[in-house]
A and B are shown apart, each in its own frame.
Chain A
Amino acid sequence: DSGVTQTPKHLITATGQRVTLRCSPRSGDLSVYWYQQSLDQGLQFLIQYYNGEERAKGNILERFSAQQFPDLHSELNLSSLELGDSALYFCASSGRVSSEDTQYFGPGTRLTVL
């Protein structure tokens, strides 16, 4: 158990809908990262937050947004969902903002868009 929690574990929704994925980092960690794992794209970095501020952006679509709250939990919002958004979404956390830190991953949220 990495100490990172994600809810829900599974999510099934329809095209055009909006969903919110939630992540709680390990105790004491200030950085939260979001990743998407799909069969065709593999594991892709989406976005990083550090202590409430956005710090790095990867291949995140404009339909997707994230935020980190004062209690350090983070939410990833996916809107106008398309079939191709079906994937496993991981959250990871690390202690600092630096790229040298090890990222510890949560169990993931499996999103299915029908």
Chain B
Amino acid sequence: AQKVTQAQTEISVVEKEDVTLDCVYETRDTTYYLFWYKQPPSGELVFLIRRNSFDEQNEISGRYSWNFQKSTSSFNFTITASQVVDSAVYFCALSEGGNNDMRFGAGTRLTVKP
């Protein structure tokens, strides 16, 4: 069965620091999809990125970047020059092809202090 591990429960940084959130996944499928979601203090879940297992290209979107490495089963998320508004819980999630049961990691709570 698929599994997602976010070993970092909480991270605290000072504004403008770079921070990397780790995500390690387990799956037996060769076709799968990885996601990152952000849950700010207001509580909603905001979609950030989707990556399929056949696309190992790293992605950059503004201050956000994602590093997908199949060799280590990791899909890490880096925020460059963090801002207070980045404070939230970040979830990594995995869907296997043909299985609509998306599994979430436990989440990493990021606090960015001014």
Residues of A that sit less than 8 Å from B by CB: 2, 33, 42-45, 48, 55-56, 58, 88, 90, 92, 97-100, 102-108, 110
A2 CA / B48 CA spacing, docked (Å): 12
On chain B, the number of residues with a Cβ less than 8 Å from chain A's Cβ atoms is 25
Beyond A100-B50, A107-B43, 15 additional pairs, beta carbon < 8 A: A2-B46, A33-B100, A33-B102, A42-B106, A48-B100, A55-B100, A58-B101, A99-B96, A99-B99, A100-B52, A104-B47, A105-B37, A105-B44, A107-B44, A110-B43
Which residues from chain A contact B64 at a C-beta distance below 8 Å? none
Binding site for A on B (CB under 8 A): 33, 35, 37, 43-47, 50, 52, 91, 93, 95-107
How many A-B residue pairs have C-beta atoms within 8 angstroms? Tell me.
61
Interface of chain A: mostly helix, strand, loop or mixed: strand
* Cβ–Cβ < 8 Å partners of A43 in chain B: 91, 93, 104, 107
Among B33, B96, B102, find the residue whose CB has the most chain A CB atoms closer than 10 A: B102
Residues of chain A within 8 A (CB-CB) of B107 are 42-43
Q: B95 touching A90 by the CB < 8 A rule?
A: no
28 residue pairs bridging A and B, Cβ less than 8 Å apart: A2-B47, A33-B100, A42-B104, A42-B105, A43-B93, A43-B107, A45-B101, A45-B103, A55-B100, A56-B99, A56-B101, A92-B45, A98-B100, A99-B95, A99-B96, A99-B98, A99-B99, A99-B102, A100-B50, A100-B95, A100-B97, A102-B35, A103-B35, A103-B47, A105-B37, A106-B44, A107-B43, A108-B44
